[in-house]
Structure 1
Amino acid sequence: MFDIEPVTIVLSLLLFGAFTAPFVYHSSKKKKKTKALESKLNELAKAQGANLSLTEIWRNYYVFGLDPAKNCLIYFQDTPEFSPIVLDLNDFKKVGVIRKNLESKNESSGRQILDYLALEFTKKSGGNSIQLEFYNGDLFSDLMGETLLADKWLEILQKQLK
């Protein structure tokens, strides 16, 4: 069997700890941020008298909550200048997805790059529509499943509007 010197064991443990510490720190920081966003969403729901059964937090930036019984949707972005949006879904007749793409500079590929993704709510009264952003290419350089998430919420909200 192997004889491992105590110095080697201590050095190995120190290196292992130094390597894993940033990952543990980042994970705990992300959990705290998510809890803070959940708490803020619950406070907003409580103020509206809503009981959210469906919630979604992504990128630790965008937050969605839905109370199907009250037909209430709560949305906010985690920035100081953004005010939370509370929608009474009874005031809207339809919802759709808006996708804005950038054309690739290379003409041979003809590739389109998603630059903006949002859900658009059309009012029954015919006023201005409301857009709830899911992805903004100016803020984030990559997609993390936002297209699937937007499609998921589109399906949920279309059922809710019927």
Structure 2
Amino acid sequence: MFDIDPMTLIVSALLIVAFASPLIFQRFKNKNKLILQQATFSEFAEMNNARPTLHEQWRNHYHLGIDTESKKVVYHRFGSYPEQTVIDLNEVKKVSVQEKSRVVIVGKEKRFIIDYLALQFHFKDESHSPKTLETYDGDLYSDMAGERGLTERWKEKIENILKS
């Protein structure tokens, strides 16, 4: 059998605890933040007589939902510049994806970098300017984590509700 020195065992245990404690603390902190954001989103939706049946939250910064019965889109952006919006789809003519990108040339290679993605709602009433709901901001994040697909997917969901 192995002979383990008690002092080595104690030092090893302390090092493991010292390494793991910040990770565990961060996980609990993020979980509590997520719970608070979900509660805020639900409260805002209920204040506007909406009960989102489809909803999605990403990057601990954005939360988007659709109430298919009352045809309302509920959007909440957290962070430095928070935004809460409810859009009645009965007043919307069409939805599109707004994308701002730039081309960067590195040697002989061209790269397209997306700086901004959003859902843009065009209303039936022409005097009402289009409303934009941001889904990705290149100033906040250095990379994309599927926001292009997410934005296209939500556009399709909203278009299906507009057709019905």
The TM tier, using the shorter chain, reads over 0.9
Aligned match of 1:90: 90
> SS at the partner of 2:69?
coil
- Of residues 136-145 and 32-41 in structure 1, the stretch that sits farther from structure 2 once superposed is 136-145
Query: What is the rounded CA distance, in whole Å, between the counterparts of 2:81 and 2:136 in structure 1?
Result: 17
> SS at the partner of 2:56?
strand
Q: CA deviation at 1:159?
A: 0.9
Aligned match of 2:19: 19
Aligned match of 2:150: 149
Aligned match of 1:34: 34
Contact 1:34 1:57 in 2 (8 A): no
> SS at the partner of 2:118?
strand
Instruction: Give the AA of the match of 1:151.
Output: E
Q: CA deviation at 1:81?
A: 4.5
Which structure dedicates a bigger proportion of its chain to strand?
2
Quick one: percent identity of the two aligned structures?
37
Aligned match of 1:115: 115
Q: Does 1:140 align with 2:136?
A: no
Segments of structure 2 that go 5 or more residues without pairing to the other structure are none
Query: What is the rounded CA distance, in whole Å, between the counterparts of 1:44 and 1:94 in structure 2?
Result: 24
Contact 1:45 1:51 in 2 (8 A): yes
Compute the TM-score of the two structures, normalised by the length of structure 2. 0.91
1:30-64: CA deviation from partner (whole Å, max 9, x where unpaired): 11111111011111111112212112111111111
Segments of structure 1 that go 5 or more residues without pairing to the other structure are none
Q: CA deviation at 1:80?
A: 6.0
Which structure 1 residue ranges, 4+ long, deviate > 6 Å from structure 2?
A: none
Taking structure 1 as reference, are residues 34 and 120 closer, same or farther at Cα in structure 2, changes over 3 Å only?
Answer: same
**CA RMSD of the aligned region, Å?**
1.5
